[in-house]
């Protein structure tokens, strides 16, 4: 479980997050929602040790993460898929998977690659294609597969459905569902497909201007006309 308490954070001296507190329980999908520029990516980067934390604490199962460098946070079991540049486009699918498992023995790497293929069978037939030639949805699934090579406890996805067709959005979100249901991962999901994300998730956080305006049951946020209309583009009705 991830517990964030009273976090002030930003880039250098530019503060973006203000007194952010939230929880992400293990085995659950926690949706992080909010308008553009509200700090969703900054929050995920902050958990991953990529911003300056001025105050507060960020714990994974009781272990303090703030102050640690990203590679250590990764070793503690958190995988982070950034909004952009989350794979090596000049490399093939196979090379991308090998890169993300470089620290493993060959046997272990083969085993884990096999696990990735079980989740994404289509990758098996694309091993020698350059990642640049994959569709947006295929790329997202490859980068999720790459994250899984490390067998993390927590997987943080930053807008994995951005710029995808509605059908692909559903495919990728279905993968996210299976990460929880079939594999027991804890998922933090920053999303712009608000309604779909709320229907899928177990817990929701609304960030506005770097502050948490709501934390709780997704259906409560879905039915909160005021917050939904003002900040999430949900229809008036």
Ligand X SMILES: Nc1ncnc2c1ncn2[C@@H]1O[C@H](COP(=O)(O)OP(=O)(O)OP(=O)(O)O)[C@@H](O)[C@H]1O
- Give the residues lining the site for Mg ion (CB under 5 A): 40-41, 83
Compute the chain's Rg from CA coordinates: 18
Residue whose entry in the numeric block shows the structure tokens 């569902």: 177
Question: Is 14 one of the binding residues for ligand X (CB under 6 A)?
Answer: yes
Distances (CA, A) of 87 to 83, 92, 130, 172: 11, 10, 11, 16
We find the least distance from the C-beta atom of residue 106 to ligand X, in angstroms, to be 38
Within 10 A of 152 (CB to CB), how many other CB atoms are there? 18
Nearer to ligand X, 27 or 82 (CB): 82
Residue whose entry in the numeric block shows the structure tokens 């196979």: 94
We find the least distance from the C-beta atom of residue 3 to Mg ion, in angstroms, to be 22
**Paired residues of 40 in beta bridges:** none
Of 4, 22, 38, 142, which one interacts with ligand X (CB under 6 A)?
A: 38
Of 22, 24, 30, 34, which one interacts with ligand X (CB under 6 A)?
A: 34
User: Which does residue 86 bind out of Mg ion, ligand X, none, counting CB within 5 to 8 angstroms by kind?
Assistant: none
Of 11, 64, 103, 135, which one interacts with ligand X (CB under 6 A)?
A: 11
Q: Are 43 and 207 in contact (CB under 8 A)?
A: yes
Q: Interface with ligand X by CB under 6 A: which residues? A: 11, 14, 16, 34, 36-42, 83
């Amino acid at each position: 479980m991830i517990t964030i308490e009273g976090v002030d954070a930003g880039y250098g001296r530019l503060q973006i997050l203000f007194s952010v507190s939230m929880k992400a329980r293990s085995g659950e999908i926690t949706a992080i929602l909010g308008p553009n520029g509200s700090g969703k990516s900054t929050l995920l980067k902050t958990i991953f040790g990529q911003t300056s934390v001025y105050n507060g604490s960020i714990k994974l199962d009781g272990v303090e993460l703030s102050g640690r460098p990203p590679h250590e946070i990764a070793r503690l079991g958190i995988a982070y898929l950034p909004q952009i540049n989350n794979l090596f486009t000049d490399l093939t699918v196979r090379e991308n998977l090998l890169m993300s498992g470089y620290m493993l023995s060959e046997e272990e790497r083969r085993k884990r690659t096999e696990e990735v293929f079980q989740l994404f069978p289509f990758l098996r037939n694309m091993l020698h294609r350059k990642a640049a030639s994959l569709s947006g949805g295929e790329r997202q699934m490859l980068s999720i597969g790459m994250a899984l090579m490390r067998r993390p406890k927590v997987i943080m996805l930053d807008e994995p459905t951005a710029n995808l067709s509605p059908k692909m959005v559903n495919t990728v979100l279905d993968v996210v569902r299976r990460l929880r249901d079939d594999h027991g991962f804890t998922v933090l999901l920053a999303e712009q497909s608000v309604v779909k994300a709320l229907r899928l998730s177990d817990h929701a956080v609304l960030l506005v201007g770097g502050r948490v305006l709501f934390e709780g049951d997704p259906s409560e946020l879905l039915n909160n006309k005021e917050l939904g209309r003002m900040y999430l583009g949900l229809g008036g009705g």
